[in-house]
Copies of this chain bind each other. A is one copy, B any other.
Amino acid sequence: MSDETKPGPGLFPVPPMGEQERMIEAVLFASAEPVTSAELAKRLPEGCDVAEALVHLRSRYAGRGVHLVRVGDGWAMRTAADLGWLMRTEQVETRRLSRAAIETLAIIAYHQPVTRAEIEEIRGVTLSRGTIDQLMELEWIRFGRRRMTPGRPLTFVVTDGFLDHFGLETPRDLPGLKELRE
């Protein structure tokens, strides 16, 4: 593509808001994964107001069969949860998680960043390598920063993939988090 046909920085007028909304709509529809605001800004012509266009788009899809949802730093289109029964054919069989894995996941989500020792203390048992591996493989958890305590232990945090899977906008939206913190 030659530079002439592509809207270049400052060379072309900023598209009207309705047009910006259309562009974001197209990009988000085309992607199965959430797209970050930064990525959207990079894709759209210079000068676009991604944040505002997202607000418009979100309200446009409110109550529809497909919603605009926030996932951590990203944005994605997702079908409305109340229509899940229509999607039988699309449903994916997920491997049943062990109790250890489910509890470990919850502990990481509610206590992140959390070290292995802390997880073990809460559950009262040793954390098996397999449990962590399984959650890592699902891309629901990842390593966080090392804790600045003796031994500089690794910490675990939940990922945007986790937020996406469980329909959470941010880790702060975990149900009952406030009550637990009190």
Chain A interfacial positions (CB closer than 8 Å to B): 1, 5-6, 21-27, 29-32, 43-44, 63-66, 77, 79-80, 83-90
Contact A22 B83 (CB under 8 A): yes
| A30-B79, A79-B30 known; A25+B86 contact, CB < 8 A | no
Given contacts A29-B79, A43-B89, contact A23 B84 (CB under 8 A): no
Q: Main SS of the interface on chain A?
A: helix
Pairwise interchain contact B25-A87, C-beta atoms closer than 8 A: no
Decide if A79 touches B26 in the complex (CB within 8 Å).
yes
Of A31, A43, A64, A86, most B-chain CB atoms within 10 Å: A86
A22–B90 CB distance below 8 A: no
